[in-house]
A = this chain, B = another copy of it.
Amino acid sequence: MDEKQWIMEIIGQTDKEYKITDKQARILEVAIQEFADKGYSNTSTSEIASKAGVAEGTIFRHYKTKKELLLAIVTPTLTKGIAPIIERTCVKDIFNKEYESFEDFLRFLLNNRYQFLRSRAPIMKILLQEAAFHDEINADLKRLFTNRVYQEFTKIIAHFQDKGQLKIFPTDTVIRLMLTSIVGFLVTRFIILPGYKWDDAVEVENTVAFIMSGLKA
Interface residues of A (CB under 8 A from B): 38-39, 41-42, 125, 129, 132-133, 169, 173, 176-177, 179-181, 183-185, 188, 202-203, 206-207, 209-211, 213-215
Contacts and interface: CB of A to CB of B under 8 A. Distances in A.
Given A209-B214, A214-B209, A214-B214, A39 B132 contact: yes
A127 to B, nearest CB: 13
15 contacts: A39-B41, A41-B41, A125-B132, A129-B129, A129-B132, A176-B185, A176-B203, A177-B184, A177-B207, A179-B184, A180-B180, A180-B181, A181-B181, A181-B184, A210-B215
A180 B176 contact: no
A203 B42 contact: no
A38 B213 contact: no
Contacts of A184: 176-177, 179-181, 183-184
B203 A173 contact: yes
A61 to B, nearest CB: 10
Contacts of A215: 210, 213
Of listed A42, A184, A210, A215, residue having the most chain B CB within 10 A: A210
A155 to B, nearest CB: 21
Chain A facing B: main interface SS:
helix
A179 B192 CA distance: 13
Contacts of A206: 169, 173, 177
Given A129-B129, A177-B181, A213-B215, 8 more contacts: A38-B133, A129-B132, A176-B185, A177-B184, A177-B210, A181-B184, A209-B214, A210-B214
A118 B211 CA distance: 27
B185 A180 contact: yes
A213 B203 CA distance: 17
Contacts of A202: 173
A171 to B, nearest CB: 12
A74 B133 CA distance: 19
Contacts of A173: 202-203, 206
A39 B137 CA distance: 15
